[in-house]
Amino acid sequence: MATIFTRIIEGEIPGTFVWKDDRCVSFLSVNPLNRGHALVVPRVEVDHWLDADGDVRQHLFEVAHTIGRAQFAAFDVERIGVIIAGMEVPHLHIHVVPVNSESQLSFANAATDVDREDLEAAAEDIRRHLEAAGETGVAR
């Protein structure tokens, strides 16, 4: 059975995308740790990041870096945190989170109810900065 992330990638479940290319996508978390919290997910289903092909890992981190730079420009934050936990969905994903403190990187603080309009507004801020940087994977 396909993971929830594959179902989002294939359009079966709605996602708020900021990036799409032939190897991965990035969409905003529906349980964000902070505004603009994005997930970078390979199109291929890989359960554990240690099992991912080197090219996949490298590409995911390049995209995470690109998304992080756009987040840093879009939001008034001190840092962009990165987490690979993989406990909640058996499909490799990198959390890219705008933060002002380490406490904002705790999944215990994840939002449980986020307005879809708020997600779209945050995504638009990220997309605008990706486009301004000349990035080609911007999801529209």
Reduce the DSSP state of residue 38 to 3 states and report it: strand
Q: pLDDT for 37-90, tens place per residue?
A: 999 999 999 999 999 999 999 999 999 999 999 999 999 999 999 999 988 899
What is the C-alpha end-to-end distance of the chain, expressed in Å?
28
| CATH code for the structural domain at 4-132 | 3.30.428.10
pTM, to two decimals: 0.97
* Averaged pLDDT of the chain: 97
From residue 67, how far is each of 11, 15, 47, 52, 132 by CA, in Å?
Answer: 21, 16, 22, 20, 12
Q: Which amino acid is at 7?
A: R
**DSSP string covering 65-128, please?**
HHHHHHHHHHS--SEEEEE---SSSSS--EEEEEESSGGGG-GGG--S---HHHHHHHHHHHHH
3-state SS assignment for residue 62: helix
Spatial separation of the C-alpha atoms in residues 44 and 52, rounded to whole Å: 9
CA 22 to CA 20: how far, in whole Å?
Answer: 7
pLDDT at 24: 98
pLDDT on residue 42: 98
Q: Model confidence at 1, in pLDDT bands (50, 70, 90)? A: confident
